[in-house]
Amino acid sequence: MFAEKTAFIPVSPDEAFALITEPDRLRRWQTVSARVDLRAGGEYRWTIVPGHVAAGTFTEVEPGRRIVFGWGWEGSQDLPPNASTITITVEPADGGTLVRLVHDGLTNEQTASHLEGWNHFFERLEKAATTGDAGPDEWAAAPEDLNQITCADATLAVCQQVLREITDADLTRQTPCIDFNVGQLADHLIDSLIRLGRAVGIEVTPPTSGTVESRVAFAAQQTLEAWQKRGLEGTVKLGEYEMPAALAASILSVEFLIHGWDLAISTGQQVTVSDEVTTYVLQLAEQIISPQTRESGSFAAAVEMSPDAHILERLIAFSGRVAI
């Protein structure tokens, strides 16, 4: 059995090809994070929504025209990586491009579920091609199985949505973190990702160019992939300190969501995040932000807030922040 989907998008074939193959473009409609080695024999790994990672190998690549790659899900026995095959063709059409996907090698049940997915994401592809960005994906907003790693994916998606709107003109704006302007806070976030990568045994390749969003995303993809492979058991060494791995992983979500809010406030944006994820991050923050961390200057004293305040306001107040 196979699933098939076609979309007309009002861009050139080269732009359409970029939308379906380049990580910076994929994050605008299909993935939370993406690693792509675009060549025959190269591998890809896409976090589609938190907790669901598609992976496989490219078998054919014709730039601007066609790609063929294996498809499956990490951790799946029914459809593991490379267990099925996707062919995407890009053809010029009057006023734009036709993008046609054929997903082969599926059971009847898999065909139905994947067609639902491709319908959802092709709608987002059409929107991204028209407006430049499909916006927050409701499928990524509230993971079914919230844990420190799936929450990190969800909050990364929230943070990236804010980062995507930041321009060079914003970099010197002050943030609610009194020690950082926008550009410095983005660098701080990348530094945190590098440290959290070392905690699980990898040296994150630091980004050297690109937009603020692409630089943070490049570091985040490496760190989150390493954490997903390692898991939450046992302990890790973060700097000089050994701590439970689950506690160290919690820092990811706290950093993504709170600093995402910092950057949104600094640049006149709104944070779009589900109450489920925010509630979970507040629970993580309550474990991480101790009197000792406040005394060290890592966090200011908690701001008084009504128990009836919105959950995001309560999280921000607990972290010691006020809007600037």
Residue 275: per-residue pLDDT: 97
The structure's pTM equals 0.96
Is the pLDDT at 295 greater than 80? The verdict is: no
Contact assessment for residue 5 and residue 118, using Cβ atoms and an 8 Å cutoff: yes
d(CA 6, CA 124): 13
Contact assessment for residue 9 and residue 16, using Cβ atoms and an 8 Å cutoff: yes
Taken in order 219, 286, 269, 152, is the CA torsion positive or negative? Answer: positive
Tell me the backbone φ, ψ of residue 2, rounded to 5 degrees: -145, 155
Residue 294: per-residue pLDDT: 80
Average pLDDT (157-173) is: 98
138-143 contacts at long range (C-beta below 8 A, 24 or more positions apart): 139/49, 140/32, 140/49, 140/50, 141/273, 141/274, 141/276, 141/277, 142/274, 142/276, 142/277, 143/49, 143/50, 143/51, 143/277
User: How is the chain split among helix, strand and coil, in percent rounded to 5?
Assistant: 45, 20, 35
Assigned superfamily of 141-318: dinb family like domain (1.20.120.450)
Which pair of tokens denotes residue 170? 């914003």
- 169-189 per-residue burial string, b: 16 or more CB within 10 A, e: under 16: ebbebebbbeebbbbebbbbb
Contact assessment for residue 88 and residue 67, using Cβ atoms and an 8 Å cutoff: yes
Write down the domain spans for the chain: 2-131, 141-318
Residue 1: per-residue pLDDT: 78
Least confident window among 89-98, 263-272, 305-314: 305-314
Is the pLDDT at 52 greater than 90? The verdict is: yes
Average pLDDT (246-268) is: 98
Contact assessment for residue 254 and residue 288, using Cβ atoms and an 8 Å cutoff: yes
> Pick from 92, 101, 143: which is nearest to 122 by CA?
101
User: 2-131, what's its fold?
Assistant: Alpha-D-Glucose-1,6-Bisphosphate; Chain A, domain 4 (3.30.530)
Contact assessment for residue 214 and residue 206, using Cβ atoms and an 8 Å cutoff: no
Is the pLDDT at 296 greater than 80? The verdict is: no
Contact assessment for residue 163 and residue 212, using Cβ atoms and an 8 Å cutoff: yes
Which pair of tokens denotes residue 49? 């929504």
d(CA 150, CA 155): 9
Average pLDDT (238-247) is: 94
Residue 2: per-residue pLDDT: 86
Which pair of tokens denotes residue 313? 């306001």
Which pair of tokens denotes residue 201? 């045994």
Taken in order 133, 116, 276, 151, is the CA torsion positive or negative? Answer: negative
Sheet (strand 66-71) strand order: 2-9, 96-104, 84-93, 66-71, 52-62, 43-49, 33-36
Residue 36: per-residue pLDDT: 98
Average pLDDT (215-230) is: 98
Is the pLDDT at 130 greater than 80? The verdict is: yes
Is the pLDDT at 319 greater than 90? The verdict is: yes
- Would 2-131 and 141-318 be classified into the same CATH topology? no
